[in-house]
Structures are given as structure tokens and as C-alpha cells.
Amino acid sequence: MAEEAHTATTEAPHEGGFPPFDTTTFPSQLFWLVVTFAFLFTVLWKVAGPRINGAITGRRGAINSAIEAARKARGDAEAAEAAYRTALAGARARANALAEENRQALNAEIAQAKSEADAKAAEAMAEADTRIAATRDAAKAHVSVAARDAAITIVARLTGDTVSPEDAANAVKS
């Protein structure tokens, strides 16, 4: 009790003394320092530190994943462009092939039509030739018959004999 009274009186700042060196205040200072520093340490260690760390790493992660997504989107766009280019090239090739095929089909058709027309013309020509030949033969036959008849008539007129048509024909022929 006596000690308590003693410290209580010296606790008050005495005139002219240097307060930081007043050892009677040290127990209170140490006690409150331990309590408050332990509190601060616990809060920063268990709550604030992980929280701030989470915010920083979370932001870093979000930025990195956004960059990653952007890179991926660019890759996708490039891939899409490449696919478009190949599709375009394919379509162009197919169009060319189709045109070529068409042209060939047309050429073949034309050639066929031409050959058909040629064949028809040749046929007509051949027909005409045979007809001409037939006409010629017929004419030739008519000529020999006419000569035979003429010979028969001449012989009959001149000699009065009747010559058989066969003989007349032979005679004419020879």
C-alpha cells in the first residue's frame, strides 16, 4: 500500500524532470505497449495481411487472365482469318474447276454436235452418190436397151429379119 501511494505521487510529472526518463511510468508503458502491439501484430498477421495480399494477388491474377484471354481471342481471330482465307481459296478453286468443267462439257457437246452434223452430211453425200450411181446405171441400161431396140429396128428395117433381143444386145455390146 505504501508503495502504491509512493508511485501514485511520483506518477505525476514533477517540475523540471525529464518525463521520458521517469521510471515510475515504465510499467504502465510496457503493459500497454505489449497489449497494443500484440493486438496490432495479430490483426496484421491474421486479417489485414492476408486480405491485402489477396487483393493484390487477385488483381494480378485478373490482369494476367485478361491478358491471357486477349491473347487467346487474338489467336482465335487469326485462326478464323486463316480459315476464311482457306475457305475462300477453296471456293475459288471450286469455282474455277466448275467453270473448266462447264467449258469442257460445252466443248464436248459442240464437238459431238459437229461430228453428228458431219456424219449426217457424209451420210447425205453417200446417199446422193449412190443415187447418182443408180441414175447413171439406169441411164446406162436405158442407153443399151435403146441401142438394142434401135439395132433391132435398124436390122428389121434394113433386112426385114427379126433379131432376137438377146442377139441384138450382144451385138450392140460387142
Partner 1 sequence: MAMNPMEQFAIKPLVSAPLFQIAGHPIYFTNQALLMIIVVVASSLFLTLAVKPGRLVPTRGQSMAELSYEFVANMIHSATGEDGLKFFPFVFSIFMFVLCSNFFGLIPGSFTVTSQIAVTFSLACLVLGLVVVTGFIKHGIGFLKLFVPAAPWYLLILLVPIEVISFLTRPVSLSVRLFANMLAGHTMLAVFGGFVVSLGAAGGIFTGLAIAPMLLIIAIMLLELLVAFLQAYVFAILTCIYLNEALHLHDHH
4 binds partner 1 (CB under 8 A): yes
Min separation Cβ 2 and partner 1, Å: 11
Min separation Cβ 74 and partner 1, Å: 22
20: its cell numbers:
521520458
Alpha helices in 25-48 (DSSP H): 26-43
For 7, 14, 25, 32, 110, the CA distances from 3, given in Å and listed in that order, are 6, 18, 14, 21, 133
Cell 452418190 sits on residue: 129
156 binds partner 1 (CB under 8 A): no
9 binds partner 1 (CB under 8 A): no
Residue number, 21 or 139, with CB nearest to partner 1: 21
2 binds partner 1 (CB under 8 A): no
Min separation Cβ 67 and partner 1, Å: 14
d(CA 34, CA 5): 25
Q: Which of residues 17-46 bind partner 1 (CB under 8 A)?
A: 18-22, 25-33, 36-37, 39-41, 43-45
Cell 447413171 sits on residue: 136
Q: Distance of alpha carbon 46 from its chain centroid, rounded?
A: 60
Query: Judged by CB under 8 A, which stretch of 6-14, 76-84, 91-99, 124-132 contacts partner 1?
Result: 6-14
d(CA 49, CA 91): 61
Residue number, 62 or 124, with CB nearest to partner 1: 62
- SS3 percent helix, strand, coil of the chain, rounded to 5, is 90, 0, 10
Min separation Cβ 64 and partner 1, Å: 12
Per CB under 8 A, residues contacting partner 1 are: 3-4, 7-8, 11-13, 15, 18-22, 25-33, 36-37, 39-41, 43-45, 47-49, 51-56, 58-59, 62
